[in-house]
Structure 1
Amino acid sequence: MKMSYLSKHGGSSNAYTEAEHTCYHFEVKQDFLKGALRSNVKKGPQEKLQFKAEGPIWKAGKLYRLEPVRDFPYALLDMDTSMSSSRIFEETRRLFSSSPWTRPQSIRAGEVCIFTSKLEGGQHIWLLVVAVDMFDVIGIVYQYIKLLHQVSPQEWIFRELQDIGNMEFKFSEELAQDSYASGLAAKYIIYGGYAYESWDEELIKHVLGFFTPDNMRVDLVSKSSIKSEDFQCEPWFGSKYTEEDISPSLMDLWKDPLEIDVSLHLPSKNEFIPFDFSIRSDNSCHDPANISSPRCIIDEPLMKLWYKLDTTFKLPRVNTYFRLSLKGGCANLRNSILMELYGRLLRDELNEIIYQALLANLEAYVGPVGEKLEIKVSGFNDKLPALLSKILATVKILPTDDRLKTFYDPDDKLHVLDELSISDLNSFIPELWSQVFIEGLCHGNMLEEEAISLSNIFKMNFSVQPLPTELWHRERVLCLPPGANLVRDASVKNKSETNSVTEDVLTTMNGVIDLLIAIIWEPLFNQLRTKEQLGYIVECGPRITYRSSEYSPVYLQERIDNFINGLEELLKRNFTEIRL
């Protein structure tokens, strides 16, 4: 793309590559679309570019050991379904993407996730397993497949997907123009991504029939996976690999597992799918004087709640934000580490609940920020109280296992962390929640009485003393003096880390910063990323960030300074053309 024409007329370009195609796209002001097309599209017949290499033919029923750049053990299971029905395919995928993967006790699985792709010849299902005991995990996968064969396909799962698809299509939000156009270029459909039109039990059984060890290829990626000197090199990146037969005893065990782990089960019904999409502002009497900004509807020692009814967008969505100031969360280093550990364990405990809610377009975040706990819940308002109730019922649950040992932090925290145990955390949490102050905001499709009912959920879950006013969370802002030129130099903790980063913080009025970024973003990226190619990551905002694995921060800073020194000439030359 010729960037200069696009940038002069408020545009930009980008590209992305998928398994079988690359999509190039650009955006520009409407009046200059034809000019951008003339500038960026070559006339005449275009040669079809093809990338071919005489590489290995990956075979089903084989184990491939591959060597990565960095050691990160995982296994990839590829099952070719040879199917073109994406809806049936999605129903099958739904069976694999829920709670059955919650740590069967017989394995030490770090993570199992599922993703899909449509390659030439049919659909593929991929299971990515991040763990140490790879073959044990594969065994658990086939135990679950056996469970799916033992129970008939569940129509209620299809109906859930159908309800969610119709809801997402009806209330889909407008995308950025370039994202929408590039998406259509790849899919050629508008409604197909949401449609679940017919229930077909026999077709689902047919798809499950492809899930066999004989139809599976296993890629085991680990630095320690290749032990034989008799390896080959694939032609695209030169990576080492070996091809092996899978043990016949393992193949027989996977084809018909002797037993099914008791912790495996079908996904549970999703209680967060909304059905009430009525708009509250259509049937409420609200004072126009109170709709311009949030107002405080509860001001008590335990809680302060702000509220604003949406009368602008009129969508069945609401955003809620709650900040819980807790007693002694960061009073010292030990408490700070316990607070961080508690936050990680809490997010892990809530993972299944939040995943179910996410399927129904309800988003939630729970985690510590300094000495306070943040809870953010947003999405369709109908089932938001149910999700908030689940979260609040979980936040005070004490951990009962020893997952604590998996979290380690560097240097100054390490010696404190090594001395901590699960009993220390169990003692810390009740003290943490002994005094609380909650401040929240509810904005969106919610009546005042509904917002008050949310506050009652907090009160029911926290029958504790209010946190004294002097211990409430206070925002702290550092004001730099005009003309400040400060440098912070820090070394990486990980000695094997090869990346260097330099970051320049721009301090001036927000409007001026926004205008400057709009003008310099494309020239900066073109110079530092495209032409000089010193590093892959170049970002421009209130901070200019440059990351490289080959050059020092000092040299990267010199290149940023060189660009900034030429800004005056750039602005003089292009300001009239770039004027917004």
Structure 2
Amino acid sequence: MKKYILIILFIGFNYAAPEYRKIILENDLKIILVSDEKYNKSSASMNVMVGSLSDPKEYQGLAHFLEHMLFLGTEKYPDVEDYGSYLKSNGGYSNAYTAEDHTNYHFEVYHDAFEGALDRFSQFFISPLFKQEYTEREMNAVHSEYQKNLEQDYWRMRQVKRNLYNSNHPANHFEIGTIETLSNVNRKVLLDFYKKYYSSNMMNLSILSNLDLDSLEKLARKYFSDINNTKKDRIKYPLNYLEEKNTLRLLKVEPVKDVKRLVLEFPTPSFYKYYESKPEQLIARLIGYEGEGSLQNLLKSKGLAMGVGAWGQNNTEDYGSLNLWVELTSDGFQNYEEVLSICFSYIELLKNAGYQSFIFDEAKILAELEEKYASKGEGTQVAVKMANNLAFYPIDQVERVEYIYNKENITAYMDLLSYVKPENMLATLSGYGIETTNTEQWYSAKYSYEENDGVLYSRIKNPEIITELKLPIENPFMPTSTDIIQDNDNKNISELIYDIKGMKVYHSRDLEFNRPKAKLIYNIFINENLMSLENYLLGQLYVASINENLSTIYSAAKLAGLEYQISHNIEGIKIEVSGYNSSIDELMKVIIKSIKNLSIDENIFSVIIDATKRNLENKSLNDAYQIAQENLSLINFGTAYSPTEQLSIIESISINDVEKYWDLIFNNIFIEASAHGNISKRDVQKLSIKLRNTFGYKSINKQDCFTSTRLDLPYGTKVTNTISSEVNNSAYVSYFKIGENSPRDRAMAMLIRTYVGQPYYMELRTNQQLGYIVAAGAFSRDNYSAMYCIVQSDGYPPHEVENRSIKFLSNAINDLDNLSNEQLSIYKNAAREAINEKSTSISQETDRRHILTHKFNNNFNRDNETLDALNEITIDDIKQTLSFTLNKETQRNITILLYANKLEIPLDIKPTFDNLNSWKKEQSYK
């Protein structure tokens, strides 16, 4: 049956796909060129095959530090601001990261500026300056990045585990770097490392643009042929970063956030070479299966886990790992030994069952479909993937590696599964209340480590057979047709096809992508009289209960190319379904049935309450700037409930309360819906009526629904709040209202974002070294436009950051006198390109249309209105708007000053209010 489906699937519509060309320059630089006339932006990425594993022991973090330094000037472009300013003023973006075995640099920019960006980018790899005066300054930036990660559990766990790896293996290292580890690094050390490893034959470049392939090849040869080739041999890494040992190795780590998790790591050889059969993905797919009889299903039913997953990871070309994680409940944390035993029972089931051909067949079918019909994306996300693929896979397969399932490899599958055994495992348990005996050097993480060859080790070496555990069944959501609908509907508008009291449904056909996919969005608004703290929390728990009921089909749907999301927000509930239209109907039936027949198991409900509580409690331990942003939202939104408020009542909520929420809410709702893609009006109407009938609701008009409101500040008003936090960084977050969401306001916000963004970052981060996270810009949303400033600092109190930010902005206003009309023209061109950007997928286009039809009265001319307004704006207009927005006499500002746990709030810095909720009652929100 499956083979027959594969034969009939590809009767579909042909459409233009990206064109590819692979070349190798005379200096042995490998390049993939990608041409697609529909790209909104051009992009490039360079993979250099050296990373933190090659750091000298005396300079831990050197590879990462060098990555930072490459951005700070080259012989051809010595100005340290040139690269960033050029990209930003042309709507661009750039970044880089250092992995263990490679470093990746990447950028994207609008097409007209692409050649100039390539020229500047190529110089990173030809003639970097490594200016001594910036060495110490950028060392501080690296240290700030380290400080930012000090209370991030991901980095803490990662480092503790690394310290347990074999002491003579490069994986036992510290990768980020600090002022301490880099203190003796000078220009010579940087140059020596660069010359040793940054050879063209160790590099892999991707270039993506709307230009034809011949033009791209000319650019590649023009700008990258001068990279020096020292004929460096590829780096080889030893396999045994964690040797087998006849014992249970258990690492217990106390987390910063209340994260109760069990992670099992199994070292393996690299599986790059198995790209044609992908055994690691098949194993991860089986372990992560969520349906009846799955590992997750059993652990949840016992109240031991909230989620289960697995992934394969290539650490280098030589070694990798298979990993299994379990998100534990409080009971699961206390009974982690039982959880561990059940995990190995399922692993034993996989080994005894042998290779599952139908899993490979399903993966192959979907991969072939996705290769033909999936949106391939654009920009840095694709460029990075292409450059990295070029480094690790055969050059002739680079662009399609993820879609290749050429042949089953039963031997590779069983061999890889043989590494999943207790003697080849490092188990890591995290959670509050763990007894610890050690403190890790770099992150001060408290942990203990034990080796146990007793009863528990014997249990997992010889796991019991658990009859409730089963292998997956065939996927019911696999697409059955890829036919493109043929009808006379050639209008490129969203048409109102269903309009009754309580529901509006818009439909539009996809005329751009010609793929057998669609997306549906349903916004369910509640009656404004029902908005309260209790109902808001009940809404969250109700949606969590629906999602929990649907969890058994989530992985099957995703693996069949479908996605769904049921979410809760302050205005109500949102349902989104997307993917192959031949399967959407089946998925919607399951979702509707789950809503209609919602039944909440007591064990599952306690898991939901536990997860919700932990999520709320952990918010106070987010990044400093995130805490400040959330506090700003509490002030800015008329109705918003803090984590503290929600925690104050969560224990009083029962299953009965959540079940009664259905009757309370769905007697008072209004639905706004949109459907777009390869789906007919009739099918959309049928699905919408089914959903409506499921709710069985009493219809209300849209004007009776709750609508979120925002603070309407009088001119000349500044609202300040101070926060004494639990985290180790401070944050300054400030919001200035520019105006409404008129065409002129939208255009002005875009120009301000371009004018302020990069210089703000360059001055406050690179020059003044105030912190690692620095950003400024402007945006338009809903019925307003605003400007923002964000700085997270490990070394400066937020009031000092605010003073420096205000000084910079004041200077920026004055500097407008020196802005040329030519430069303004560049800013405007970037804004035009942004306005004219096209959606890159049916899903993205559905989102755009949904906003235009329901939020902006079906006004598809908004972009043209913005373009017209953009053309009229002068330099004087920008100066006047910035002056008016930032002047104390006319500002409308909300500022959050969040102080790190080591700082006291100065007595002379007073918040605007003592009690937020009391203060809000006296304010105007609209």
Q: TM-score range by the shorter chain?
A: 0.7 to 0.9
**TM-aligned CA distance change 1:273 to 1:502, over 3 Å:** same
**Whole-Å Cα distance in 1 between the matches of residues 502 and 336 of structure 2?**
49
Deviation, 1:143, is 0.6
**Whole-Å Cα distance in 1 between the matches of residues 322 and 678 of structure 2?**
39
Alignment partner, residue 526 of structure 1: 762
- AA aligned opposite 1:278: D
Deviation, 1:192, is 1.2
| Contact kept in structure 2, 1:329 and 1:372, CA below 8 Å | no
The one-character-per-residue Cα deviations of 1:227-252 (angstroms, maximum 9, x if unpaired) are 44xx5856x65756554322332222
Question: SS of the residue aligned with 1:350?
Answer: helix
Alignment partner, residue 145 of structure 1: 347
| Contact kept in structure 2, 1:14 and 1:24, CA below 8 Å | yes
**Whole-Å Cα distance in 2 between the matches of residues 443 and 512 of structure 1?**
31
**Alignment partner of 1:295 is 2:486:** no
**Alignment partner of 1:46 is 2:247:** no
Deviation, 1:83, is 5.0
The one-character-per-residue Cα deviations of 1:15-59 (angstroms, maximum 9, x if unpaired) are 0232322212234522314531464333498223899xxxx9644
**Whole-Å Cα distance in 2 between the matches of residues 427 and 559 of structure 1?**
53
**TM-aligned CA distance change 1:94 to 1:411, over 3 Å:** closer
Deviation, 1:393, is 1.6
| Contact kept in structure 2, 1:363 and 1:377, CA below 8 Å | yes
**Alignment partner of 1:249 is 2:451:** no
Alignment partner, residue 116 of structure 1: 312
**TM-aligned CA distance change 1:478 to 1:560, over 3 Å:** same
| Equivalent residue for 1:487, pick from 719, 722, 743 | 719
**TM-aligned CA distance change 1:534 to 1:202, over 3 Å:** same
| Equivalent residue for 1:25, pick from 106, 113, 135 | 106
Question: Which 10-residue stretch deviates more, 241-250 or 36-45?
Answer: 36-45
| Contact kept in structure 2, 1:372 and 1:473, CA below 8 Å | no
Alignment partner, residue 322 of structure 2: 125
- AA aligned opposite 1:547: Q
**TM-aligned CA distance change 1:41 to 1:129, over 3 Å:** same
**Whole-Å Cα distance in 2 between the matches of residues 538 and 361 of structure 1?**
37
**Alignment partner of 1:260 is 2:466:** yes
- AA aligned opposite 2:305: A
**Alignment partner of 1:400 is 2:591:** no
Alignment partner, residue 176 of structure 1: 378
Alignment partner, residue 773 of structure 2: 537
Alignment partner, residue 487 of structure 2: 284
Alignment partner, residue 563 of structure 2: 363
**Whole-Å Cα distance in 2 between the matches of residues 482 and 209 of structure 1?**
68
Alignment partner, residue 417 of structure 1: 650
Question: Which 10-residue stretch deviates more, 118-127 or 564-573?
Answer: 564-573
| Equivalent residue for 1:36, pick from 117, 120, 130 | 120
Deviation, 1:328, is 7.3
Deviation, 1:205, is 2.4
| Contact kept in structure 2, 1:330 and 1:339, CA below 8 Å | no
Structure 1 unaligned spans of 5+? none
Q: Number of paired residues?
A: 566
Question: SS of the residue aligned with 2:400?
Answer: coil
| Contact kept in structure 2, 1:80 and 1:215, CA below 8 Å | yes
Alignment partner, residue 549 of structure 2: 349
Superposition pairs of residues 64-213 of structure 1, within 5 angstroms = 64-65=250-251, 67=253, 70=256, 72-84=259-271, 85-86=274-275, 87-99=278-290, 100=294, 101-102=296-297, 103-106=299-302, 108-120=304-316, 121-131=318-328, 132=333, 133-188=335-390, 189-213=398-422
- AA aligned opposite 1:112: V
The one-character-per-residue Cα deviations of 1:136-171 (angstroms, maximum 9, x if unpaired) are 222121010111123232211111111121122222
**TM-aligned CA distance change 1:114 to 1:531, over 3 Å:** farther
Superposition pairs of residues 500-579 of structure 1, within 5 angstroms = 500-508=731-739, 509-539=745-775, 540-542=777-779, 543-548=788-793, 551-573=796-818, 575=820, 576-577=822-823, 578-579=826-827
| Contact kept in structure 1, 2:253 and 2:448, CA below 8 Å | no
Structure 2 unaligned spans of 5+? 1-70, 74-79, 129-193, 199-233, 391-397, 617-642, 740-744, 780-787, 830-926
**TM-aligned CA distance change 1:32 to 1:128, over 3 Å:** same
The one-character-per-residue Cα deviations of 1:358-396 (angstroms, maximum 9, x if unpaired) are 233322221232352211222332211222222122124
Question: SS of the residue aligned with 2:401?
Answer: coil
**TM-aligned CA distance change 1:571 to 1:136, over 3 Å:** farther
Q: TM-score, normalised by structure 2?
A: 0.56
**Alignment partner of 1:381 is 2:581:** yes
Alignment partner, residue 924 of structure 2: none
Superposition pairs of residues 462-481 of structure 1, within 5 angstroms = 462=695, 464-469=696-701, 472-473=704-705, 475=707, 478=710, 480=712
Percent of matched pairs sharing the same residue:
21
| Contact kept in structure 1, 2:528 and 2:707, CA below 8 Å | no
Q: TM-score, normalised by structure 1?
A: 0.86
The one-character-per-residue Cα deviations of 1:406-461 (angstroms, maximum 9, x if unpaired) are 23454334443333222222233233234543221112222222222222322442
Alignment partner, residue 312 of structure 1: 512
| Contact kept in structure 2, 1:66 and 1:239, CA below 8 Å | no
**TM-aligned CA distance change 1:474 to 1:224, over 3 Å:** closer
**Whole-Å Cα distance in 1 between the matches of residues 439 and 539 of structure 2?**
49
**TM-aligned CA distance change 1:225 to 1:417, over 3 Å:** closer
- AA aligned opposite 2:101: E
**TM-aligned CA distance change 1:333 to 1:57, over 3 Å:** closer
Question: SS of the residue aligned with 1:128?
Answer: strand
**Whole-Å Cα distance in 1 between the matches of residues 427 and 519 of structure 2?**
43
- AA aligned opposite 1:438: I
Alignment partner, residue 4 of structure 2: none
**TM-aligned CA distance change 1:419 to 1:77, over 3 Å:** closer
| Contact kept in structure 2, 1:327 and 1:467, CA below 8 Å | no
Alignment partner, residue 4 of structure 1: 81
- AA aligned opposite 1:535: G
**Whole-Å Cα distance in 1 between the matches of residues 798 and 362 of structure 2?**
52
Question: SS of the residue aligned with 2:359?
Answer: helix
Question: SS of the residue aligned with 2:470?
Answer: coil
- AA aligned opposite 1:14: N
Question: Which 10-residue stretch deviates more, 164-173 or 500-509?
Answer: 500-509
Alignment partner, residue 217 of structure 1: 426
The one-character-per-residue Cα deviations of 1:247-271 (angstroms, maximum 9, x if unpaired) are 3322221122123262x32234322
**Whole-Å Cα distance in 2 between the matches of residues 572 and 273 of structure 1?**
61
- AA aligned opposite 1:4: E
| Equivalent residue for 1:449, pick from 682, 695, 720 | 682
**Whole-Å Cα distance in 2 between the matches of residues 572 and 60 of structure 1?**
68
Deviation, 1:196, is 0.8
**Whole-Å Cα distance in 2 between the matches of residues 498 and 8 of structure 1?**
31
**Whole-Å Cα distance in 2 between the matches of residues 59 and 491 of structure 1?**
48
Deviation, 1:195, is 0.8
**Whole-Å Cα distance in 2 between the matches of residues 502 and 4 of structure 1?**
24
**Whole-Å Cα distance in 1 between the matches of residues 502 and 415 of structure 2?**
57
Deviation, 1:285, is 0.9
RMSD: 3.3
The one-character-per-residue Cα deviations of 1:270-303 (angstroms, maximum 9, x if unpaired) are 22232422322xx2112x6xx2432211122353
- AA aligned opposite 1:152: G
Question: Which 10-residue stretch deviates more, 74-83 or 31-40?
Answer: 31-40
**TM-aligned CA distance change 1:4 to 1:416, over 3 Å:** closer
